[in-house]
Structure 1
Amino acid sequence: MLQEEKNYKDVESHVKIEKGVLRELFSKEAALREEAFQKLHSRLGPLHETFEWFLQAEKSIQPPDTEQLKKLFDSCSDPDRSPEELLETLYALEPGNSIGFQQINMLVDHLRGRVWNYAREKYSLQVEEIEPHDHVFGSGGDFCKTLHASTAAAIVASTFIPICKTGTSNVTSWHGSTEAMTTLGYTQLPVHTADINRELAQSRFAFIPLSALGFPYSPNLRQARKRLWEQASKILKDRQEAKKLSWQKTIRTTPIPMDIFKIVSPNAQVLKPRHHSTGVCSPYMLPYVLSLYLHLNSQGIIVFSYDGIDEFSTASSEPGANNLVIQVREHDVLILECGPEALGLKRSRIEDISEKDLETTRDVLQNIFAGKEEGAKQDFIVANAALLLVANGYKQRTEEHEEAHEEKSLQEQLWNAVTRVREAIQHGEVKEHFENVLHAHFQPVL
């Protein structure tokens, strides 16, 4: 529920860092990275400790050569390899341990080329022919098993802006976005340019499973990735118990085995969106994701909730700021640390936004779209839809005549976007839009 009055004094203004300065943190030379880190020392704020770890990790990695690395990565597409073999490969591809940001950037370029070739050969699909759109993709699950925020937020936000969402079946969450979309009544269509563009034109929304685009996604790979996730979960729980730390402190200070596919797949942006938004479930993923934004010259938002949730969370296990929002713009990057109150939303408990079985999830999401579900779950979806509007640069009609130099803070932009999304739900716009999404999806190409 929205608070009655704005109070922007509750949160410090966002930090702004010029992109050119930030790029220096990803120089090829270690000495230049260290120099950039010292230059940005007081400006990185909540990113300071993460980048300190990142720079140390970059010094210690001994990655395979480029061709060997490509072969390792491509071997994950072999459906005949066992989960045990694939788990060993995931170790060899582990960011921060085996490979660094330069290798990740290279693998994204490699994957993009593979997917584009696959799409051309299988569907005669040219990504350049897809109408302009935005994109959102979380890192695939979180440590608290929360509701499908990115999936539902994409549907809500597409009431205002065109979004072509991609997603997967579940690997580390109870259900993936593919299962969620199917349960909502949206089933996969052939991946043809005409179908995608028709849906974007008629309803501003389309969904494509990554498996349909030739991404590495065999059952055995999913099993190996789940084992790696279980190891990460155990490391967190064991350290929390041994050190008597709070859950947020554990998440924020414990490096975990990272799954290369939780960084590369969500952020490859193979359909070339105008704006890309993503979430991470561990702060140690942030430097690699931010590096990809700079590498691909992307604009959009990266978000991390301190409870290990790959979305903006309106719920938390502790009071205080519980979200980190990073907006990557054309020339600079904004960093904001805040709680849900900064967006005018009430804080709730983690269990209030937890994921349930698919049928319950379907009913909850449909009720949110229809304005029948109020409280924590609606706030969770509203907040994440607001992020997508801000990432897009969407402005309300009442704001269009303001002077260009009167730039609002990132917090105020988010607050205003929350208000607009809330109004759209209350006035039935989102419900009507969702019905249009399903109608456009099932309408055949003429």
Structure 2
Amino acid sequence: MKVLLIGGGGREHAIADAIARSPDAELYCLMSRKNPGIARLSSGFRIASETDVDAVREYAQQCGAEYAVVGPEAPLAAGVVDALEEEGVPTLGPRRAAARIETDKAWARTFMREAHIAGCPPHHICTTPSEIREVVESLGDVAVKPAGLTGGKGVKVMGEHLSDADEVYRYAVSLLPEHGAVVMEKRLVGEEFTVQAFCDGNTLAFSPAVQDHKRAYEGDVGPNTGGMGSYSDADHLLPFLDREEYEQACSIMRDTIDAMRERMGVPYVGILYGQFILTAEGVFVVEYNARFGDPEAMNVLPLLRTPFTDVLASCVEGRLSRLDVQFEHMATVCKYVVPKGYPESPLSDAPIEVADVNDALLFYSSVYEKEGVVYTTSSRAAAVVGIAHTIEEAEAKAERAILGIRGALYHRRDIGTPELIRRRVEHMRALRGA
């Protein structure tokens, strides 16, 4: 089976690895820069913009792609899936209309409200400064979300990133020229978690729950990033999340897919990523993404026991209900190494060297290879994933693996540690008690 992968980041390296483990797969990739990990797994690759629809269509024809997988959100927004399917290449990824669940947060909230999807927090969609001022005064504590794509870094919360109502107002108004609208939501207090699922438009196959860490520095402080690391547990839950709460999140995702099919007439085929927050009042939807998370893909895809190509074919052919998609019952800890100074003043074009990551996995992200040397860009460089029977053992594997990566790099040592997880558990215990 010839599979074309669109994208060249850490998420796509994890997808490429899953495809390559399938016994019948022949992998090709189109990426904007040469990811050395993906290149080594591929029978061929092309360097081109991942949003260049014509380049994608041409390379799909050249390599004889029978199926395709779109990794990042930008090609989804550009209509790459639509173009590939018009060329007769079934693709794992939602068409542009369905991808609005991620690419237009204002549309997504309106859709959830009108479809009566559970877990939709109180919110207002503002298009003028006066509307923003009114909402800030009425809601008090708010989260501010740009309507469009921002690479996971645009959301700011009062009391965490924004100090007072005036700063909230100024930030929200600054988003209007580029995005046209801003979503103002009631600030929710709790613990965030992610559930990702394969989807064929009717059936969802859920992966283990994962918790990401957005803040740049240890102790969960500093600016938001694309994600500094993440962990999952062997029971597919999380230490602060029970089975009923996990199932509640899955039910919300099922209702969302059903409503999209029935209301839009467009089946959602691809990956649905649900970002949730567990509060004292229950589970709420923070946002949806129309693709795997980065780094969350690196936690779940290495655990996938079912061949990825079987899942891919079942999704695009509408027969996922007949496939038993299974994940190993192991714990994972993913840690990113990032350029020194990231995210505010990152050192770019600096060489890195990978000596030995021992018994962990390595996924290259925002790097490029030139004359056999791997260099950083201004974003996250590479991730290591430890897999073991417990989170503590997986964290130790990941931390040892970091020692095998040399360069002007930084990572959060606290991700997956007993102390950080204990704080999460105590936080939820206090909220439930209150």
Which is richer in strand?
2
Structure with the bigger percentage of helix: 1
**Alignment TM-score, normalising by the size of structure 1:** 0.30
TM-score by length of 2: 0.31
Say which structure, 1 or 2, has more relative contact order (CA 8 Å, 6+ apart): 1
